[in-house]
Amino acid sequence: MPTYTPPLRDMQFVMHEMLKVTEDFKQMPLYADMDAETINAVLEEGGKFAAEVIFPLNVSGDAEGCGYDAVTHAVTTPKGFKEAYRQYIDAGWAALACDPEFGGQGLPLVVNQCFYEMLNSANQAWTMYPGLTHGAYASLISHGTPEQKQTYLPKMISGEWTGTMCLTEAHCGTDLGLMRTKADPQADGTFKLTGNKIFISAGEQDMTANIVHLVLARLPDAPPGIKGVSLFIVPKFLVNQDGSLGARNGIYCGGLEHKMGIKGNATAQIVLEDAVGSIVGQPNKGMNGMFVMMNAARLGVGNQGQGLIEVAYQNALAYAKDRIQMRSLTGAKAKDQAADPIIVHPDVRKMLLTAKAYSEGGRALLCFSSMLREKEHNHPDEKVRQDSGEMLAMLTPIVKAFSTDNGWTATSACLQVFGGHGYIKEWGMEQFVRDARINMIYEGTNTVQSLDLLGRKILGNNGATLRKFGKLIGKLVEEEGSNAKMAEFITPIATLGEQMTKFTTEIAMKGMQNPDEVGAAAVDYLRVAGHLVFGYFWARMAQVALREIAAGNADPFYLAKVQTARFYFAKLFPETATLMRTARAGSAVLMDTNEALL
């Protein structure tokens, strides 16, 4: 059976030693009194909940899955899920980073992100039930009417009700402009929605009294395509004027998907039959509100990949220290045993360090992105708010795609450490791999994220935001360029930073002649950008660690950080050279292949 220990020490390092989040909080009146001790105490308790309450349900929840009653359309979650959720809301975890005006605790998003990393490590399937509610909350807090906020947000923030996002239909996935679900206006100002949605995570469950579905649909006079999509609140149970639950609405689960992973989460087929809904925002402008939820979800999905890397790494490391097989190539290390622990073998270490480097790099990026989100919404300086929002928009597809690609790579590597035992269910590793695979697909496949990054976020403003990130790198290079101990970390990011300008310009020029050139290069481009971002954070982490070592701090944590940074730059970062070469290979080798694909 797998085990899990919350990585509190590394979270504290990223927040307090590298990012110095409390210094940023002092500039935001909303968080001016927030201190490191409070953050650490909250996450310590959150780690206990993750490790002691929901982690023990992960393997059993995967084995049991969700139950579906075709007559009543009811869904039952695996044994223990409902009781764990009650503990979650009783302890106030649902309200952690939500607006106090509606009952939230008002803690910074970075605290919630770290908490959710631990939940995702412990049990991604369970975590998706409350996790999706945060996205629905973000959409309503931004685009809901005062009445909608008062009706729904207090119950969603308390955790009494959950939320979902209902986008996909059987004939259209990412291309939401093709959707057919319709919404007919009623005399009382409501709408009746009819249609079918699929792949709705947490779309039905037995854990809460109500589910608040955010549904995309078309009005009768809507223009074609994505410009004719509107957003609606469609609750499972209608809500009376006094806030009590009324009649059952015409929205129900028509079946559950039979999936490769996350089996403890109900991935529902949702049927709408004259379901009563209220419009969110303006008619035909539904994507404005939905993109708020989708972008929050994309950061959340990156966090899911992050969580799975961490738990897979912990278990692979423990196994590699214990499992004996063969002798070290440089001579016996465990002379009192018949063979050496497999951690002595170079390739086993490579697999372990790959997972460790991707986990710790991903944690730094997610915390940094969370702080950008806080600055965008709460910093008193308008320019800081604008710059933070712009930077976050560029980093969001990297968080989603790079972190989840790495999640697949790292969990697979950790399974490999176990050898044949990794393929056997009882060790738990194959579940991490299966669960990690979905994260590359939903909330916009990683190819879609790559097109968004290159086409919209980079080329859309002629690389202006990328240049702003380049200035962060330039500042670090200026600080450490003459420090010989930092050279192995600084030189690679300085070099790649310079190469990115030419690389991006080449793709832009080719794309102007043939748009397929952008499509052919996008996935490779995102991974190059992902390594540039990870490289920047790994250099910063090495900088902090080396300063602590130079000051006489003998804590092995800092030496481990430097060693991992060294591995990352030597073994993983060089992937960028190959990626730039394949991106430059162009579209012809893909598109001029009709005979090959007969």
The DSSP bridge partners found for residue 194 are 182
- The DSSP result for 484-536, as a single string, is GGGHHHHHHHHHHHHHHHHHHHHHHHHHHH-THHHHHHHHHHHHHHHHHHHHH
CB neighbours of residue 37 within 10 Å: 9
Q: Which residue has the tokens 């909350």?
A: 137
Task: Give the span between the Cα atoms of 138 and 127, in whole angstroms.
Answer: 17
Max Cα–Cα distance, the chain, nearest Å: 84
Kind and range of the H or E run holding 368: helix 346-378
Residue 5, helix vs strand vs coil: coil
Exposure pattern of 480-503 as b/e (b: 16+ CB <10 Å)? beeeeebeebbebbbebbeebeeb
CB neighbours of residue 454 within 10 Å: 26
The DSSP bridge partners found for residue 196 are 271
Contact 258, 434 (CB under 8 A): no
Non-local (6+) Cβ contacts of 208 within 8 A are 85, 159, 160, 161, 162
Q: Which residue has the tokens 């639950």?
A: 245
CA 261 from chain centre, in angstroms, equals 17
Of 360, 374, 376, 443, the catalytic one is 443
Write down the H helix ranges in 144-281.
Answer: 146-158
Residues in the chain: 598
101 catalytically annotated: no
- How far is the CA of 440 from the CAs of 400, 406, 444, 457, in angstroms? 8, 10, 8, 20
Non-local (6+) Cβ contacts of 508 within 8 A are 459
Contact 375, 391 (CB under 8 A): no
- How far is the CA of 566 from the CAs of 250, 280, 532, 572, in angstroms? 57, 49, 15, 10
Cα dihedral value 250, 251, 252, 254, nearest 10: 100
CB neighbours of residue 278 within 10 Å: 18
Non-local (6+) Cβ contacts of 506 within 8 A are 584
Non-local (6+) Cβ contacts of 372 within 8 A are 388, 389, 391, 392, 395
State the catalytic residues: 443
